[in-house]
Structure 1
Amino acid sequence: MVLELTRTYFPEGTNGKLECDGKFICYTIELPWKNNEKRVSCIPEGKYFIRKRYSQKFKWHLEVVDVQNRSLILFHPANNALKELNGCISPVTKLSGPGLGLMSRKAFEKLKTIVHPILERQESVQLLITSNL
């Protein structure tokens, strides 16, 4: 499975659209691009793999693995990138501004219902991040 994340960059945050095989899954919000600096920037464009991860804070969620010079880049719920994200990607149902979205938990649950069964079958899930510039 390949998830395609197409980004639009703004000074206050990064907005994206997440699709699989051309089918819309959800929108995403991230921190603005600041040269991959830890805790203040979204991750670089490129190809990554995703795995399931569990934590007390987020329960079952998704982790983007092998990001250069970064660790613990997660998909988890958040509605305000600058206040709630440290480099992670947040699925949202609706975009409400640069780095801002609505109904993140709903979008996150939708994403998990699509991705988790694939991972449970030991199949790979790849994330392809590009921009629409």
Structure 2
Amino acid sequence: MAIQHTLLLQRKYGAQGTNGTITYQGEEICHTIELPDRNNIPRISCIPVGRYKLEKRRYPKHGEQIGIPMVLGREAILIHAANDALRELQGCIAPVNTLTGEGRGDYSGKALAKLKALVYSLWDMGDEVYLNIR
């Protein structure tokens, strides 16, 4: 039976975007940016709080990414690189190294690489990975 690992995403909501921090076993992995909370309306809102199983997904635009497939009322939710939520996201989560404002950050590619290294290493062991959003 696969071991279950849980990443914790703690959020702060703002009118221009949602900022957060992902931790694993108490260690900060990266910050995150998302769209503002607009009642889970597709393409204009962050996804709802909850516990989601992460899965490897491949998409033409972003290549192989971490997917969040079981979001009620949503499809194709990914964790992918972006530095400005309002301009670059449609409901997905973007890891960033530094938060620079509501829904904005920098060095997203670097933060994504760090997060993917962790998640993929757990998957490579045959384990399951979940994201708990609060």
- Answer whether TM exceeds 0.5 for this pair: yes
Report the CA distance between 1:58 and its aligned residue. 1.4
Alpha-carbon distance in structure 1 between the residues aligned to 2:20 and 2:10:
5
Instruction: Identify which of 78, 82, 99 aligns with 2:82.
Output: 78
Report matched runs for 1:71-110 at 5 Å. Answer: 71-110=75-114
Q: Pairwise CA RMSD of aligned residues?
A: 0.8
Aligned to 2:9: 5
**Residue range with higher mean Cα deviation, 119-128 or 85-94:** 119-128
The aligned length equals: 130
Gaps of 5+ in 2: none
State the TM-score, normalized to the length of structure 2. 0.94
Tell me the residue number matched to 2:33.
29
TM-score normalised by the chain length of structure 1: 0.95
In the alignment, structure 1 segments of 5+ residues that lack a partner are none
Residue 47 (1) aligns with residue 70 (2)? no
The counterpart of 1:69, out of the listed 66, 73, 88, is: 73
The offset of 1:10, in angstroms, is 0.1
**Whole-angstrom distance in 2 between the partners of 1:126 and 1:65:** 11
Counterpart residue number, 1:124: 128
Local SS of the residue matching 1:115 = helix
Letter of the 2:88 counterpart: E
